Structure 1
Amino acid sequence: MAEGEQCGTSIDDLPEECLLIIASHLSNKNDRDSFSSTCRRWLRVESSLRHTLNLSHRYQHDKGYGYILECLLNRFQAVNIISFTGCEKLSDSALTVLESKCPQLRKLYLDRCLSITDDGLGSLGFSSLEFLSLYRCNVSDSGLGHISKACPSLTGLNLSYCSSVTDAGISALGRGCLGLKYMSISNSHEIRGAGFSSFASLIRLDADCCNLSDEGFSLATQGCERLGYLDLSSPRNCSFQLGPLGFTSIGRFCKNLQVLNLKLCRALDDGAVTEIARGCQALKELNLAVCTGIKEEGWRAVADHCTSLEVLHVNRCRSLTNEGLAHLRNGCPHLERLYMNGCPLVSRLAVELFKLHRCQVAVMTLEYLGRNLGLMCKLPQPNGPPNSSEGDWGSRPSFQRAFT
């Protein structure tokens, strides 16, 4: 270049790949908005990087959510994760817009969308949809039948607080969504368990505060042989409640369990615990808090057979005695944490002896109420909704109910 000659190159000459790299490093929302406001080209570049869309109930327009959604998806054409959490006025027509404008959708959160009906769910023709959350929705078996046909790639589904869903709807899902791995039916009181008899791919089931029956749950465990995580805590006091027969089926059929939460299952007895301990030898975390029916024989079985156990919860187990704690002290060779308080039959001397002989075990008097039940973080699970800290189950108080 001759001396004094000015370079005619500007930032407009940068290839689009370079602009994408620059835009991808903008973590601040104001910076991203400024970038997109520069010119149409930069707007197009920034829009192509938006993969999540979170419509709040605060967004209001005279033409409804369908109009807002269409405008947003015309701009953000790469979006594949959408959350409508709390949009109670979201109508079925908006889902129709979603199907036409966002065929590549992977995750959809419809938590507390009370205006969505079974007919609206019938318009969800997403062959690529992997995760769907229907927390506190008015969905019934008919809606689940639509989903089973329209979303064959579904791997995760949240049906917490769906009071109209029964085993018939669950069974329909098992026939159509053959790859389902994660499901929550917490507080869905009409499900007894038999609908899970064909869920061969399921590895995680959250069924706390449910009305599962012995017969129905026995069929479920026979069909869900790959389960790695099972939450049956806080059973409701009603005519349908798991008893020793239902709990025994866990040990007979769920050989791959790593995390089992049976907190507040007072019907659990020594025979059922022994069957679980013998059959589920891959268990790494076991929550038996407030299981008052377990006596010395049950604790001996846990100590002798749960050789892979790393975390054990015995909080408020009022039948745990010094002898039972001695069995735990001499067994469970890989134990790392023991959560124990409110056990009136265990003396301070017995606790000190436990600490002396098992100095590598952390004895915790205060149970930590985390989102994950310990080692569940090692099991594969999909990501949570955009701009949400609740995890994959959307607005449900995810994993916390097991410890409250």
Structure 2
Amino acid sequence: MAFPVDCLYLIFERLDSISDRESFGLTCHSWLDVQNSSLRSLKLTCYVPIPIKSSESRNNSTSLSRNNRTSLETKLNRLLLRFRNLKSFTITGWSQLSDSGLSVLALCSSTLQALHLCYCTEITDLGMPFIASVFPSLSSITLSSSHVTDIGLNILTRRCTGLKDINLSGCIEITDRGISYLIMNCRQLQSLRISHCGNIRGLGFKDCSKTLTCLVAQCCKLFPEGIKGILSGGGMQFLNLSFCTGMNGDGVTFIGGGISSRLRVLDLRRCRTVRDETIAVIANECSFLQHWHLGFCLQIGLSSWESIGLNCQSLERLHVNRCTSLCVVGMQALRDGCKRLSILYTGTPNSRLSLLAREVFQSLRPEVELRNGYVESIIPKEAFFELQK
């Protein structure tokens, strides 16, 4: 009790041991209060029981659902009263969190910088004015799998203009109009996720800010002009277009233009319209490319591997999983070129890429690690920020 509160905060901040920080609050209530108010990040995962679908138990199911919601809101209220100075707050899987239930978030500090509502499927446009008014200083937000539309996105971004990281994955009601609002209002935007947003064609990205460096757009139906708009800012460094079904080879060729010269990480996994001409343009123009995923790109042939080996001198990691056209000559092209290559993801050995070809490659390039197995995707933050170091 003799220590001033300011001294307690200084002591707590200088504790390096995790166990010491966790046991700090066991001393007394004053020390516990210091520990609680020093917490900056809180993550909650809600496991809600699946309601009983039989008609005989419908009333019991409704009652159970209502009790679960009340219980979760009560627990959330207690947690936010305890941890009053959060900078980042994440809720995952609370499917019953409604727009009216967002009112409990008012207990968070108005200086909250990151709010992640992951798979909170009941959130709609009605909750956006509340978030925008209570947390104007947000720099990061996740609204994945919510029912927010273009209107709600406009309301949010007109107030929270400092947003730099936005996750809209699974927001199927967002269209190019909503993206245009986002690009117009948030001129500091750095990272955006729009995976599984089937109504986005990419046309809303026209004249985007050069601050946009990371885009994840898996399973989208982008138009060629949409890809051109995505790259129009000239600052793109991480681009994930895996499983994109709507774009044709001409659209992907836009990636090789001068506006994408800063690209460092590119994921074209399962983009089956990608052909040799596209690979040649990208390899020739994107001289800074360090991480490239071409898994399941079945339309590329020997000339692609020769283009990569000849031009991709900054490439450090290459995924060729299930690329059946990769033969002995292709391996030789990669071996003789790509001087900075450190990891080659070859996947399951195929008939054209024999064990002998692998052994020859390994003997002449022992510094390159050949990895088997199939890598599903390039993780945005891990890959991008690793390359930033």
Normalising by the smaller structure, the TM-score range is: 0.7 to 0.9
Shift of 1:141: 1.0
1:186 matched residue in structure 2 = 195
Deviations 1:14-67 (A, max 9, x none): 2223322454548458735534xx34x434423321223344536968867666
1:82 matched residue in structure 2 = 89
Deviations 1:170-228 (A, max 9, x none): 110001111111111111111111122233211111111211122222222223x1111
Shift of 1:339: 1.6
Please state if 1:299 is matched with 2:305.
Answer: yes
Match of 2:386 among 378, 386, 393: 378
Please state if 1:152 is matched with 2:161.
Answer: yes
2:60 matched residue in structure 1 = none
Give distance in 1, aligned partners of 2:270 and 2:342: 23
2:371 matched residue in structure 1 = 364
Q: What does 1:30-109 correspond to in 2, within 5 Å?
A: 31-32=23-24, 34-35=26-27, 38-39=28-29, 41-57=30-46, 71-99=78-106, 101-109=108-116
Change (3 A) 1:174 1:64: farther
Give distance in 2, aligned partners of 1:334 and 1:380: 16
Please state if 1:287 is matched with 2:296.
Answer: no
1:173 matched residue in structure 2 = 182
Please state if 1:272 is matched with 2:264.
Answer: no
Change (3 A) 1:353 1:68: closer
Match of 1:121 among 103, 106, 128: 128
Give distance in 1, aligned partners of 2:112 and 2:138: 6
Shift of 1:133: 0.8
Residue identity in the other structure for 2:248:
G
Shift of 1:167: 0.9
Shift of 1:368: 5.2
Give distance in 1, aligned partners of 2:44 and 2:354: 55
Shift of 1:351: 2.9
Shifted more, 160-169 versus 75-84: the winner is 75-84
Please state if 1:354 is matched with 2:357.
Answer: no
Q: Structure 2 stretches of 5 or more lacking a match?
A: 49-66
Give distance in 2, aligned partners of 1:173 and 1:263: 27
Give distance in 2, aligned partners of 1:93 and 1:15: 40
Give distance in 2, aligned partners of 1:346 and 1:53: 48
2:251 matched residue in structure 1 = 246
Q: CA RMSD in A?
A: 2.7
Say whether the 8 Å CA contact 2:119–2:144 is kept in structure 1: yes
Residue identity in the other structure for 1:358:
R
Deviations 1:335-372 (A, max 9, x none): 11212144432334433332233232222233456873
Say whether the 8 Å CA contact 1:180–1:202 is kept in structure 2: yes
Q: What does 1:129-144 correspond to in 2, within 5 Å?
A: 129-144=138-153
2:268 matched residue in structure 1 = 262
**DSSP 3-state at the match of 1:195:** helix
Higher relative contact order (CA 8 A, sep 6+): 1
Match of 2:2 among 13, 32, 35: 13
Change (3 A) 1:70 1:321: closer
Shifted more, 139-148 versus 119-128: the winner is 119-128
Residue identity in the other structure for 1:196:
F
Residue identity in the other structure for 1:337:
I
Shift of 1:293: 0.8
**DSSP 3-state at the match of 2:278:** helix
Change (3 A) 1:20 1:213: same
Shifted more, 133-142 versus 352-361: the winner is 352-361
Residue identity in the other structure for 1:181:
Q
- The share of aligned pairs that are identical, in percent, is 33
Shifted more, 16-25 versus 118-127: the winner is 16-25
* TM-score normalised by the chain length of structure 1: 0.81
**DSSP 3-state at the match of 2:92:** coil
More helix by share: 2
Shift of 1:330: 1.7
Give distance in 2, aligned partners of 1:242 and 1:17: 58
Residue identity in the other structure for 1:17:
D
Say whether the 8 Å CA contact 1:65–1:94 is kept in structure 2: no
**DSSP 3-state at the match of 2:115:** strand
Give distance in 1, aligned partners of 2:279 and 2:222: 18
Change (3 A) 1:263 1:343: farther
Say whether the 8 Å CA contact 2:86–2:108 is kept in structure 1: no
Q: What does 1:192-231 correspond to in 2, within 5 Å?
A: 192-200=201-209, 201-223=211-233, 225-231=234-240
Give distance in 1, aligned partners of 2:11 and 2:341: 48
Shifted more, 61-70 versus 165-174: the winner is 61-70
Shifted more, 12-21 versus 287-296: the winner is 12-21
Residue identity in the other structure for 1:14:
F
Shifted more, 13-22 versus 312-321: the winner is 13-22
Shift of 1:297: 1.5
Say whether the 8 Å CA contact 2:25–2:33 is kept in structure 1: no
Give distance in 2, aligned partners of 1:13 and 1:312: 60
Shifted more, 246-255 versus 115-124: the winner is 115-124
Say whether the 8 Å CA contact 2:276–2:299 is kept in structure 1: yes
Deviations 1:80-100 (A, max 9, x none): 221222222223234345347
Give distance in 2, aligned partners of 1:133 and 1:321: 43
Say whether the 8 Å CA contact 2:264–2:291 is kept in structure 1: yes
Please state if 1:235 is matched with 2:244.
Answer: yes
Residue identity in the other structure for 1:222:
S
Q: Structure 1 stretches of 5 or more lacking a match?
A: 1-11, 382-404
